[in-house]
Amino acid sequence: MRVYLTGFSASGKSTIGKLLAKRMKVRFVDIDARIEKNTRMTIPEIFKVKGERTFRKLEEAEVARVVQSPGRNLVVAVGGGALQNYANRRLIRDDGLTIYLSCSAPEIYRRLKDGTDRPMLDVTPRKCETRVQLRKRRIRELLRQRKTYYNRADLTISTTNRTPAGAASELYRLIGRYDDRA
């Protein structure tokens, strides 16, 4: 079975994905990490030098490569904005089980507040807006924009106030029940 983890930045896709893959005894794939490896640039560098549009094209190509790769058993962490792309949604939906790792806006802010590597949060502030206000506003805006796509997932689990190990165990149990129904 292929399992695709989606959700906002810092929702736990990579951390939980690695734990889940180990528990399922399958390979873990991180789309963002593959893009960074292939381009020899970090995601923030890609955004800064080449722009978001180029990053989204790279992301779409990488999702297609993963979907077309041999072997059925994978856990895949998909970038937070990847499902806004119709081609990505279609490929992922047709290829495996999609799981939305839901996380509250305040918890996302708490996890990201000191980071500098999230280009989607680094936009021009409004007049008299502090960095804290900007980041909180931006997280709410992006969550609102992406919620429709996240909510189309086959399964949803909240990672707010949950350890990565606890979330991975719960996902393992849910996937087993879901797989039994299929």
Residue 89 host element (H or E): helix 86-95
Residue type, 157: I
The predicted model gives 136-162 an average pLDDT of: 94
Measured on CA atoms in the order 92, 75, 140, 161, is the torsion positive or negative? positive
Write the single-letter amino acid at 50.
K
Q: pLDDT at position 116, please?
A: 64
Distance between CA atoms of residues 142 and 150, nearest Å? 11
- Which residues is 77 bridged to in the sheet? 5, 30
The answer on pLDDT for 54 being more than 80 is: yes
- Please name each of the domains of the chain with its CATH number: 2-175 (3.40.50.300)
In the chain, % of residues over pLDDT 70: 95
Residues in the chain: 182
**Nearest to 71, CA basis, from 28, 114, 122:** 28
Percent of the chain with pLDDT over 90: 72
Half-sphere exposure (Cβ direction) of 54: Cα atoms closer than 13 Å: 13
Q: Count the neighbouring beta carbons within 10 Å of the beta carbon of residue 64.
A: 13
Q: What is the pTM of this model?
A: 0.91
